[in-house]
């Protein structure tokens, strides 16, 4: 008989999770697109560049190990950006990406935001389908977007 799978908790950022945040996101960026200068800003200093400016990094933690991350980054008046959604390959297919993304949306609502935005790449078909299933709608890519590889932008009105 198989032992039950350990519970996964969605937790707010702790400095001890910074290395996992960097590792998980760097892995998918290097696999699907590339690590861009703006990615480096967030990956190297999630506390200073996300949390300390009013955002949050949520981590999916199982038995003390971070198996997923997703960030809520302040993006102007009453707006948060959903960013840096990453789940360990061995932990995929269990709804963790959805739970993390939903927690970012809840966080934005708790802070009085009116919308959540995101940018992505069309090669990330599963991620885009997840966002659409949560109510995100495609919007035009802004000309001043800081990610060269982003060719998809989506928005959720709260």
List CB contacts of 129: < 8 A, sequence separation 6 or more. none
Render pLDDT for 149-158 as a digit per residue (tens, 0 to 9).
888 999 999 9
Render pLDDT for 82-127 as a digit per residue (tens, 0 to 9).
999 999 988 888 899 999 999 999 999 999 999 999 999 998 899 9
Q: Is 76 left (phi over 0), alpha (psi -120 to 50) or beta?
A: left
Q: How far apart are CA 5 and CA 2, in angstroms?
A: 9
Range of weakest confidence among 44-48, 63-67, 94-98, 142-146: 142-146
- Give the pLDDT band of residue 6 (cuts 50, 70, 90): low
Task: Note the pLDDT of residue 5.
Answer: 59
Tell me the domain boundaries of the chain: 8-111
Q: What is the DSSP letter of 15?
A: G
Q: Architecture of domain 8-111 in CATH?
A: 3-Layer(aba) Sandwich (3.40)
Q: ∠ CA(20), CA(24), CA(30), 5° rounding?
A: 140
């Amino acid at each position: 008989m198989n032992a039950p799978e350990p519970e996964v908790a969605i937790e707010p950022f702790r400095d001890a999770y910074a290395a996992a945040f960097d590792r998980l996101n760097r892995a998918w960026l290097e696999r699907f697109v590339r690590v861009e200068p703006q990615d480096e800003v967030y990956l190297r200093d999630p506390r200073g560049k996300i949390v300390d400016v009013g955002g949050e990094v949520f981590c999916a933690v199982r038995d003390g190990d971070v198996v997923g991350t997703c960030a809520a980054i302040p993006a102007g008046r009453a707006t948060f950006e959903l960013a840096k959604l990453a789940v360990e390959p061995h932990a995929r297919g269990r709804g963790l990406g959805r739970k993390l993304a939903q927690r970012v949306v809840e966080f934005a609502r708790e802070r009085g935001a009116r919308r959540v935005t995101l940018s992505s790449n069309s090669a990330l078909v599963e991620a885009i389908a997840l966002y659409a299933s949560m109510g995100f709608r495609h919007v035009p890519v802004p000309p001043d977007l800081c990610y060269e590889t982003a060719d998809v932008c989506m928005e959720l009105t709260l």
